[in-house]
Structure 1
Amino acid sequence: MNLSIVIPLLNEAESLPELYQWITRVMEENKFSYEILFIDDGSTDESWKIIYQLSNDDSHVKGIRFQRNFGKSQALHAGFAQAIGDVVITMDADLQDSPDEIPELYQMITQEGYHLVSGWKKKRYDSVIAKNIPSKLFNWAARKTSGVHLNDFNCGLKAYANEVVKNIEVSGEMHRYIPVLAKNEGYTKIGEKVVQHQARKYGTTKFGMSRFINGFLDLITIWFLSKFGKRPMHFFGANGVLMFGIGFVAAAIIGVRKLYKLYLGEPAILVTQDPWFYISLTTMIIGTQLFLAGFLGEMILKNKTSVNRYKITQKSGF
Structure 2
Amino acid sequence: MNISVVIPLLNEQESLTELHDWIANVMQSNHFSYEIIFIDDGSTDDSWQTITQLSQKNANVKGIRFLKNFGKSQALHAGFNKANGDVIITMDADLQDSPDEIPSLYNMIISEGYDLVSGWKKKRYDSVIAKNLPSKLFNWAARKTSGVKLNDFNCGLKAYSNDVVKNIDVNGEMHRYIPVLAKNAGFTNIGEKVVIHQARKYGSTKFGMNRFIYGFLDLITIWFLSRFGKRPMHLFGALGFIMFAIGFAFAFYLGIDKLFLNPTGRLITQRPQFYIALATMIIGTQFFVAGFLGEIILRTKESKQRYLIKDELNL
**Counterpart in 2 of 1:2?**
2
CA–CA distance in structure 2, aligned partners of residues 285 and 295 of structure 1: 15
CA–CA distance in structure 1, aligned partners of residues 302 and 99 of structure 2: 37
Could you state the TM-score of these two structures normalised by the residue count of structure 1? Answer: 0.98
SS at 1:23 equivalent: helix
1:55-70 correspondence to structure 2 within 5 Å: 55-70=55-70
Whether 2:272 is the aligned partner of 1:288: answer no
1:1-318 correspondence to structure 2 within 5 Å: 1-262=1-262, 267-318=264-315
SS at 1:118 equivalent: strand
SS at 2:132 equivalent: helix
CA–CA distance in structure 1, aligned partners of residues 98 and 19 of structure 2: 9
> What root-mean-square deviation, in Å, do the aligned CA atoms of Structure 1 and Structure 2 show?
0.8
CA–CA distance in structure 1, aligned partners of residues 178 and 283 of structure 2: 34
CA–CA distance in structure 2, aligned partners of residues 287 and 5 of structure 1: 50
CA–CA distance in structure 2, aligned partners of residues 53 and 257 of structure 1: 84
Residue identity opposite 2:128 in structure 1 = V
* Gap regions ≥5 residues in structure 2: none
Count matched residues: 315
SS at 1:14 equivalent: helix
Q: Percent identity?
A: 73
CA–CA distance in structure 2, aligned partners of residues 206 and 18 of structure 1: 19
Q: CA offsets, 1:65-96, max 9 Å, x none?
A: 00111000000000000001000000000000
CA–CA distance in structure 2, aligned partners of residues 152 and 101 of structure 1: 16
CA–CA distance in structure 2, aligned partners of residues 43 and 207 of structure 1: 15
Could you state the TM-score of these two structures normalised by the residue count of structure 2? Answer: 0.99
Alpha-carbon offset, residue 253 of structure 1 = 1.0
Residue identity opposite 1:192 in structure 2 = E
Q: CA offsets, 1:120-174, max 9 Å, x none?
A: 0000000000000000000000000000000000000000000100111101110
User: Are the equivalent residues in 2 in contact too, given 1:5–1:88 (CA < 8 A)?
Assistant: yes
SS at 1:175 equivalent: helix
Alpha-carbon offset, residue 202 of structure 1 = 0.1
CA–CA distance in structure 1, aligned partners of residues 311 and 269 of structure 2: 66
SS at 2:14 equivalent: coil
Alpha-carbon offset, residue 268 of structure 1 = 2.9
Residue identity opposite 1:294 in structure 2 = G
* Gap regions ≥5 residues in structure 1: none
CA–CA distance in structure 2, aligned partners of residues 153 and 12 of structure 1: 23
SS at 1:199 equivalent: coil
CA–CA distance in structure 1, aligned partners of residues 297 and 255 of structure 2: 40
Residue identity opposite 1:274 in structure 2 = R
CA–CA distance in structure 1, aligned partners of residues 57 and 301 of structure 2: 42
CA–CA distance in structure 1, aligned partners of residues 223 and 200 of structure 2: 33
User: Are the equivalent residues in 2 in contact too, given 1:62–1:316 (CA < 8 A)?
Assistant: yes
User: Are the equivalent residues in 2 in contact too, given 1:120–1:194 (CA < 8 A)?
Assistant: yes
Alpha-carbon offset, residue 261 of structure 1 = 3.4
Q: Which moved more, 1:249-258 or 1:122-131?
A: 249-258
Alpha-carbon offset, residue 283 of structure 1 = 0.7
